[in-house]
A = this chain, B = another copy of it.
């Protein structure tokens, strides 16, 4: 019994400039210390209503079914496919990064026949390219794209794809894990049917919840399924009955995480969406400029670089692992390495939510100047 008795855990206070989680406001930690209550307690139901209401504002939607799934962003991705795919359904996915590729895996496991629309990692996908494939496959059930590709730092334009999907039966599924709360995600205006995100990036709550919103069009598709949804845990018809007016028990809600998300969302509202987007844009530009000054080169396509996640190739002679490990251990700063084949080739530097402050750029620059010296 020695090992686990060895003392309290005192994790270091990191500046979290990786691809998420981001730093968490002290008010959010305080909210988590509120006493746990039951999953049907009127007070937790009110808290859930407030979360839904605030999420609708941030997703810029009127969708009734707007809630937080009791799992991380990956569970939101899975919910977005497992609820709508039936075996043999055609799904078109734009693939220009690690998380788009994961969409393919998730959709395939749900029984979909997936058509990949490929693009080089680091580039956006031309909307016309996706629309062309959709036209060639008129019965496509779902078109899936990643709004902010966390593996490459690329922002994908969605308006044209949404406008096309809206005209027919195809559902547009969008991964807004990295963008929500730091960039416009106009679910209704752009014609997105299913949009999921995560609690720990630009919303700056701890990881563990996946906000999701589902259009009436998508709910109709769900209700007219021939087979039951594979996943009981992620079944949106059951989640709707718990989050909606019926209040039917589905699972024991992670109430402490709800407290955290509620407080994180309140902080978003206090700042205001426009101001928040502007802050991410300005400081994202600033970070890119300063990193270029040190010899890093932007990896993502110009004009489509994410403000909250900057991808850069390393200056000659810089050892990826050594440099990141010095940043972490000597300066308490986390930045992200590359995923997949980009491992060792790029860094991913996040400026999300609470982390997105000029002083964090200063800390990083100061540390990097010493490390690269």
CB neighbours of A110 from chain B (8 A):
230
Interface residue? A173 (CB, 8 A): no
Interface residue? A83 (CB, 8 A): no
- A208→B69 CA distance, assembly (Å): 11
**Sample of 6 more A-B contacts, CB < 8 Å, known A21-B255, A39-B207, A230-B231:** A36-B200, A109-B231, A206-B255, A208-B256, A254-B257, A257-B257
Of listed A33, A54, A57, A110, residue having the most chain B CB within 10 A: A33
Question: Which residue of B is nearest A339, CB measured?
Answer: B249
Stretch at the interface among A9-17, A89-97, A118-126, A158-166: A9-17
Q: How many copies are assembled?
A: 2
- A129→B257 CA distance, assembly (Å): 42
Stretch at the interface among A134-142, A212-220, A258-266, A284-292: A258-266
Interface residue? A106 (CB, 8 A): yes
Question: Given A5-B270, A30-B33 in contact, is the A207-B109 Cβ separation under 8 Å?
Answer: no
Interface residue? A153 (CB, 8 A): no
Interface residue? A197 (CB, 8 A): no
Are B39 and A232 in contact, with the CB atoms below 8 A?
no
Selected A-B contacts with CB under 8 Å, 22 pairs: A4-B266, A5-B266, A11-B41, A12-B43, A14-B35, A29-B32, A32-B256, A36-B200, A36-B207, A70-B72, A71-B233, A72-B254, A73-B251, A73-B252, A74-B252, A75-B233, A77-B232, A109-B230, A198-B252, A206-B256, A208-B256, A208-B257
Q: A1 is contacted by which of B13, B41, B78, B269 (Cβ under 8 Å)?
A: B269
Interface residue? A366 (CB, 8 A): no
- A349→B81 CA distance, assembly (Å): 39
Q: A231 is contacted by which of B18, B78, B254 (Cβ under 8 Å)?
A: B78
* Docked complex: A15-46 residues within 8 A CB-CB of B: 16, 18, 20-21, 23-24, 29-39, 41, 43-44
- A14→B255 CA distance, assembly (Å): 13
- A255→B205 CA distance, assembly (Å): 11
- A265→B250 CA distance, assembly (Å): 26
Question: Given A252-B20, A270-B5 in contact, is the A71-B70 Cβ separation under 8 Å?
Answer: yes
- A1→B35 CA distance, assembly (Å): 26
Of listed A43, A78, A231, residue having the most chain B CB within 10 A: A231
Q: A9 is contacted by which of B18, B198, B262, B269 (Cβ under 8 Å)?
A: B262
Interface residue? A253 (CB, 8 A): yes
CB neighbours of A233 from chain B (8 A):
71, 74-75, 78
Interface residue? A102 (CB, 8 A): yes
Interface residue? A281 (CB, 8 A): no
